[in-house]
């Protein structure tokens, strides 16, 4: 048992665990919508667009989180505005915008003469999360939980039947907008823990695992949250003892959970049916 407890007796590991758990919760809460509304691509795009924000923030001495948040929210608003009233057909347009922004970020950062920030943004560095950052991360988690709790029935309806939603006076575009902004905030905090490249995995994998386990949206969200917290904890533990990057360890644990759920489901569906 000390194998489990020993790392988390260290203050910096506690901060890391708190960050990973909070981020995991945010990602899992939104994950259901990301998976079922097919927003994984947009999640990835939002992650990429934070880079120029980080670059400019670094060069102007402003907090990197602030820069990333500004860029992410700006892009969310832009995407929301560009694709209103339609199911996403702008894959190409969004693909061009976000890769363009990412490349701009790379150029800006290259002028700073160091590759350290790029590596941290791409791969995440949960050990670099300060207690100050924890406030932002925690705030985002609370905001998401509150928004989803308050808006859950309208969000659900607007997700599968936007026409009926509009007919009864619930504007699906505005709700989509809210979802995009929440997604941008989650992505910014997730980047700090698992890095830009793996952020989508954190958004999608726990929710996908939950979808294998239950068919109800509300229950799936709870399961996703559980898987996410579990992955954060075990992932950090493995990263400590096996000396592997923590972001990757967390994601791999989540993927393993998905594999287990998938295998269990496969076995059940192939089990022989006994007839009376």
Partner 1 sequence: MIAAFHTHPNPPLPYGGRRHAAPDLFAAALAVDGLSAGYDRRPAVRDISFELPEGCFAALVGPNGAGKSTVLKAAAGLLRPTSGTVRAFGLPPGACHHRTAYLPQRGDIDWRFPVTVERMVMGGRFVHLGWLKWPRRQDRAVVGRTLDRLGLTGVAERPIAELSGGQQQRVLVARAMAQGADLLLLDEPFNNLDAETRADLMTLFAELRAANKTLLVATHDFDRPADHFDFVVRLRDGCHEPEAVPS
Partner 2 sequence: MLRLLWLIPLMLVGCSGNGAPASVSTAGKPQVVATFSVLDDFVRVVAGDKVELTTLVGPDGDAHTFNPAPQDVAAIGRAGLVFEVGAKFESDWFDKAFAASGSKATRVAVADGLELEEGECKHKPGEKPDPSHAHELDPHVWHEVTNAIHMVGKVRDGLSVFDPANAATYTANAEAYIAKLKELDGWIVTAVRAVPKDRRKLVTSHDTFGYFARRYGFTVVGSVLPSFSTETADPSAADFAELVTKVKAQRVPAIFCEASHNAKLVDRLAAAAGVKVPPPLYTDALGARGSPGETYLGMMRHNVTTIVDALKP
Residues making contact with partner 2 (CB under 8 A)? 4-5, 7-16, 21, 110, 113-116, 119, 125, 127-128, 222, 225-226, 229-230, 233, 236, 239-241, 243-246
Interface with partner 1 (CB under 8 A), residue from 84, 174, 216, 241: 216
Nearer to partner 2 by Cβ, of 14 and 264: the residue is: 14
217 binds, among partner 1, partner 2, none (CB under 5 to 8 A by kind): partner 1
Give the shortest CB-164-to-partner 2 separation in angstroms. Answer: 31
Q: Which of 251, 237, 215, 244 is nearest to 2 (CA)?
A: 237
Integer Cα distance of 189 and 202 in angstroms: 11
150 binds, among partner 2, partner 1, none (CB under 5 to 8 A by kind): partner 1
Joined together, the tokens standing for residue 225 give 């949250």
Q: Distances from the Cα of 185 to the Cαs of 93, 96, 262, 267, in angstroms?
A: 22, 21, 30, 38
b vs e for 159-186, b when ≥16 Cβ sit within 10 Å of the residue's Cβ? beebeebeeeebebbebbbbbbbbbbbb
- The answer to whether 153 contacts partner 1 (rule: CB under 8 A) is yes
- The answer to whether 29 contacts partner 1 (rule: CB under 8 A) is no
Integer Cα distance of 249 and 255 in angstroms: 10
Q: Which residues bind partner 1 (CB under 8 A)?
A: 36, 150-151, 153-154, 156-157, 159-161, 163-164, 166-170, 211, 215-217, 220
């Amino acid at each position: 048992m000390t194998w489990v407890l020993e790392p988390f007796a260290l203050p910096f590991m506690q901060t890391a665990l708190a960050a990973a758990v909070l981020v995991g919760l945010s990602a899992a809460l939104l994950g259901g919508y990301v998976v079922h509304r097919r927003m994984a691509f947009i999640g990835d795009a939002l992650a990429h667009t934070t880079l120029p924000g980080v670059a400019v923030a670094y060069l102007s001495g402003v907090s990197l989180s602030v820069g990333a948040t500004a860029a992410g929210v700006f892009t969310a608003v832009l995407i929301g505005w560009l694709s209103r009233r339609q199911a996403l057909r702008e894959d190409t347009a969004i693909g061009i915008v976000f890769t363009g922004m990412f490349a701009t970020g790379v150029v800006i950062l290259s002028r700073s003469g160091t590759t350290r920030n790029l590596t941290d943004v791409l791969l995440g560095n949960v050990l670099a999360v300060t207690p100050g950052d924890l406030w932002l991360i925690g705030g985002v988690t609370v905001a998401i939980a509150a928004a989803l709790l308050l808006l859950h029935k309208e969000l659900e309806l607007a997700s599968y039947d936007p026409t009926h939603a509009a007919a009864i006076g619930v504007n699906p575009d505005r709700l989509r907008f809210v979802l995009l902004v929440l997604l941008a905030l989650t992505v910014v905090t997730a980047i700090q823990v698992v890095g830009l490249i793996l952020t989508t995995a954190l958004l999608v994998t726990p929710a996908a695992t939950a979808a294998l386990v239950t068919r109800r949206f509300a229950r799936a969200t709870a399961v996703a949250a559980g898987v996410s917290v579990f992955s954060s904890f075990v992932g950090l533990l493995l990263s400590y003892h096996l000396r592997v990057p923590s972001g990757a360890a967390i994601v791999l644990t989540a993927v393993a959970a998905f594999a287990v759920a998938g295998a269990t489901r496969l076995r059940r569906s192939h089990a022989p049916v006994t007839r009376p």
